[in-house]
Amino acid sequence: MAKPATRFVVKRLNWMEWHSGRMARRPGEVAVASFATFDEAEAERARREGEYRERANPFECGRAVRNWTHLDEPRLRDWLMDHGVDPPEPKKDGAADWSAWWKQNQKKLGAEKRAAVWEALDKVRFFTVREEPARPVGYAVVVVNWEYNDEFYDANTEQGEVIRVFRTRERAEAECADNNDIARDVWAEALGDAEIELDDEDEEFAMFDMRDRLRRRRGLLPGEKLKEGEGLFRTTANVPFYEVIEVSLEGLE
Mean pLDDT, the chain cut into blocks of 10 residues (253 residues total):
80 87 89 95 98 95 94 96 95 89 94 96 97 93 94 89 95 98 93 54 73 91 89 92 92 58
Please give, one letter per residue, the 3-state secondary structure of the chain: CCCCCEEEEEEEEEEEECCCCCEEEEEEEEEEEEECCHHHHHHHHHHHHHHHHHHCCHHHECCCHHHHCCCCHHHHHHHHHHCCCCCCCCCCCCCCCHHHHHHHHHHHHCHHHHHHHHHHCCCCCCEEEEEEECCCEEEEEEEEEEEECCCCEEEEEEEEEEEEEECCHHHHHHHHHHHHHHHHHHHHHHHCCCCCCCCHHHCCCCCEECHHHHHHHHCCCCCCCCCCCCCEECCCCCCCCEEEEEEECCCCC
- The confidence score (pLDDT) of residue 253 equals 55
- The confidence score (pLDDT) of residue 21 equals 78
**pTM for the model:** 0.84
